[in-house]
Structure 1
Amino acid sequence: MNTTPCNTTPCHLFDPRWPVLFEDNHLLAVYKPSGLLVQGDRTGDLCLLDLCKHWLKARYRKPGKVFLAMVHRLDRPVAGVVLFARTSKAAGRLSRQFRERSVEKQYLAVVRGSVAAGSERLIHHLERRKRVSVVVPAPTQNSQEARLRYAVLAKDNTKSLLRIVLETGRRHQIRIQLAHMGHPILGDIRYGAGTPLPDRQIALLAHALSVDHPIRNDRLQFSSPIPLQWPWPDDGWPDSQRPPWDWQAFAPGIDSVQFM
């Protein structure tokens, strides 16, 4: 698999600790901290999409509006890789890859309890009920099938580190399926965790995303560093290359940015 750094040199969004994972004329992949929306909602809170548009506008001194399209999303309390399309052609081709499930999405999760060693495939039927989704015992008119695979990477007496590969992309899917098997994600009080984490993150990281480049057709993989304060030791990334986990660590610097 191939990835190319931003203009062959590492670059960042507004803060030297905030990595841009990939950028070319068609794609922009960035790290999303926990607590930041991918796309704006009725809260009116700042979102990653608008921040990236402003960054591109300033970086290339663009006089007009910047085109940037969202092709997938992460839940607000989840950190990790987010990919945007910089052209309408790229947006259409990436969206088709997501629909056809040729995109591979890998996550890391720290869950409550000691999960039996090995790997498993989970298949459930999820039904949306008000603000949450629930597992139903059999398909219904309103349910959707949810599939994922997980492998236990490490564990201790109180928690386990899992690698998860999504086969479908249902709302809150990983959170619901892991909670249903009795191992909710740390901090995920909506789906069964006993206590919140200090900054209301959940211990779920969109660790890697693999797609076909929309123009060149070579396979790309974008990987997120393990953030600081992640609740499992990580020896693969030095602290100097690990971004803050929570959005509030970046917010003071963003306050000074003049948005156009």
Structure 2
Amino acid sequence: MTNELLPVVYQDEDIVAIYKPAGLLVHRSPIDKHETRFAVQILRDQLGQHVYPLHRLDRPTAGLLLFALNSETASAMNAQMMANRMQKSYRALVRGYVKHPGMVDYELKYRWDKYADAKRTQEVAPQTAHSDYWPLAHYELPFAVGRYASARYSWLGLTPHTGRKHQLRRHMLHLRHPMVGDTTHGDGKHNAFVRDQFNTHRLMLVCVSMGFYHPISGKWLTISTQVDSEIEQLLVSWQPFLTWSR
């Protein structure tokens, strides 16, 4: 049993939402056999009862993570998510200026998992994927990164309408605005700049809002949170470099 606690953003008799920090796995995984910290186990010990994770959140992604507190609620919520009735909103820091809101309608090649897909033999066709994005702020830092004399970034809001692996990260790469701190789909030079200059060693992507029909009351419920203090402090330190905001 661990003494570590996860911030609870919302809780009732049937569901609980916590803020998962960047770098924490949701549950045990062959990805890292030596890891000993998992959101499921920490929350189970914290609440003193079994919990049922209702969706995935990649290890480097921070933000809202939803659990059911009983099997009946888990079944009802899983059916709702399979019907694509849950709405999620994210915040992300990306390279370059994103000047206008838009929607990405771009198929993504299925990303094989060597563990989950170990027995798969058939090829998987590219999957439809849709994401909305909108700019919230622009920053221009007076540092040369790569071939440019200054470093430009955008703070974005994003909503995925499908649930493909790394969808938002891959869609922003498709737009040539990769997320800062993304070691898989990002820009290594900008990742290194933010890491070394501002001591930020993480993916700058956070789930800040989830909306769904409560499985018991049937009423629409929206759960929201602010970004964590590490990202907040970085953006505050960048205020002198702010060139535009909504």
**CA displacement at 1:224 relative to structure 2:** 2.2
What TM-score do you get using the length of structure 1 for normalisation?
Answer: 0.73
Q: 1:33 aligns with which of 21, 26, 29?
A: 21
- Gaps (5+ residues) in structure 2? 115-122, 141-151, 238-246
Aligned counterpart, 1:184 = 178
Give me the whole-angstrom Cα distance separating, in 2, the residues matched to 1:39 and 1:200: 22
Give me the whole-angstrom Cα distance separating, in 2, the residues matched to 1:14 and 1:193: 33
Please give the root-mean-square deviation of Cα atoms over the aligned residues, in Å.
2.1
**CA displacement at 1:23 relative to structure 2:** 1.2
Aligned counterpart, 2:156 = 162
For the 8 Å contact 1:70–1:83, the answer to whether it is kept is yes
Give me the whole-angstrom Cα distance separating, in 1, the residues matched to 2:113 and 2:72: 34
- Report the AA paired with residue 167 of structure 1: H
Aligned counterpart, 2:91 = 108
**CA displacement at 1:225 relative to structure 2:** 2.0
For the 8 Å contact 1:122–1:147, the answer to whether it is kept is yes
Structure 2 SS opposite 1:93: helix
Note closer, same or farther for the CA distance 1:142–1:111 as it changes in structure 2 (3 Å cut): same
Task: Give the ranges of 4+ consecutive aligned residues of structure 1 lying more than 2 Å apart after TM superposition.
Answer: 128-132, 195-200, 231-234
For the 8 Å contact 1:127–1:144, the answer to whether it is kept is yes
Aligned counterpart, 2:106 = 124
CA-to-partner distance for each residue in 1:34-55, whole Å, 9 max, x for gaps?
A: 0000111122421101111111
| Further displaced range: 163-172 or 193-202 | 193-202
Q: 2:7 aligns with which of 1, 4, 19?
A: 19
Q: How many residues align?
A: 204
* 2:75 is the counterpart of 1:92: yes
Structure 2 SS opposite 1:126: coil
- Report the AA paired with residue 48 of structure 1: A
Note closer, same or farther for the CA distance 1:152–1:89 as it changes in structure 2 (3 Å cut): same
Give me the whole-angstrom Cα distance separating, in 1, the residues matched to 2:14 and 2:210: 16
Give me the whole-angstrom Cα distance separating, in 2, the residues matched to 1:73 and 1:201: 18
- Gaps (5+ residues) in structure 1? 1-12, 58-65, 133-139, 235-260
Q: 1:47 aligns with which of 24, 38, 41?
A: 38
Give me the whole-angstrom Cα distance separating, in 1, the residues matched to 2:18 and 2:53: 12
Give me the whole-angstrom Cα distance separating, in 2, the residues matched to 1:106 and 1:220: 14
CA-to-partner distance for each residue in 1:201-241, whole Å, 9 max, x for gaps?
A: 1000001011111101122111122111214239xxxxxxx
Note closer, same or farther for the CA distance 1:95–1:129 as it changes in structure 2 (3 Å cut): closer
CA-to-partner distance for each residue in 1:14-60, whole Å, 9 max, x for gaps?
A: 45xx5211112110110000000011112242110111111111xxx
What TM-score do you get using the length of structure 2 for normalisation?
Answer: 0.77
| Further displaced range: 41-50 or 30-39 | 41-50
